[in-house]
Amino acid sequence: MSPPIRLKTPLSDEDVEKLKIGDRVLINGIVYTGRDAAHKRLFDLLKEGKDLPFDIKGQIIYYVGPTPAKPGQVFGSAGPTTSYRMDAYSPSLIERGLKGMIGKGMRSDVVKEAMKKYKAVYFAATGGAGALLAKRVKKAEIVAYEDLGPEAIRRLEVEDLPVIVVNDVRGDDLYIEGEKKYRTSP
């Protein structure tokens, strides 16, 4: 097994073009959080021609709503949220320069087409490992929508956040290829 690929945000086209499905990646730098309600607000801002509350170009959004941090911790449990709930909003954000998304589960064909067209990738984080993933967060601050509580948009400083490439810029899908590999013929 080859060693994981280390990436530092913000990501460039070249960064994401070299990734392929199944690659293990360690993300370093800034990652933003956002779930359903925050995505709807971002989408509405774009529809109104307004600026987003942070520069999305080259960034990664982690679909997470952390639990409250325990004393001495920077961030609460950080398990990924099911990604298809953001599918209605993701193509618009990808078109504006979003380069990566982290979550769990499959993405729609529309999102995969936007990733191919605008050069973005989808990473999976391990569901059920939220407490371990939280240890990779070194700093966290709310940058927008504090009224959403755990679903507010946060700016995270992460160190070696472990993810796997599920969808790459070529349109490949790890879930589909994995299923094909293990499917038995009738």
> How many CB atoms within 10 Å of residue 182?
6
Is the C-alpha dihedral spanning 125, 131, 137, 139 positive or negative? positive
**Known active-site residue 39:** yes
Q: Is 85 exposed, middle or buried (0-12, 13-18, 19+ CB in 10 A)?
A: middle
Cis peptide before 150 (omega within 30 of 0): no
Q: Would you say 174 and 21 are in contact if contact means Cβ atoms under 8 Å apart?
A: yes
The one catalytic residue in 35, 39, 41, 107 is 39
Q: How far apart are CA 79 and CA 171, in angstroms?
A: 25
Q: Would you say 118 and 95 are in contact if contact means Cβ atoms under 8 Å apart?
A: yes
3-state secondary structure of 174: helix
Q: How far apart are CA 56 and CA 117, in angstroms?
A: 17
The catalytic site residues sit at 39
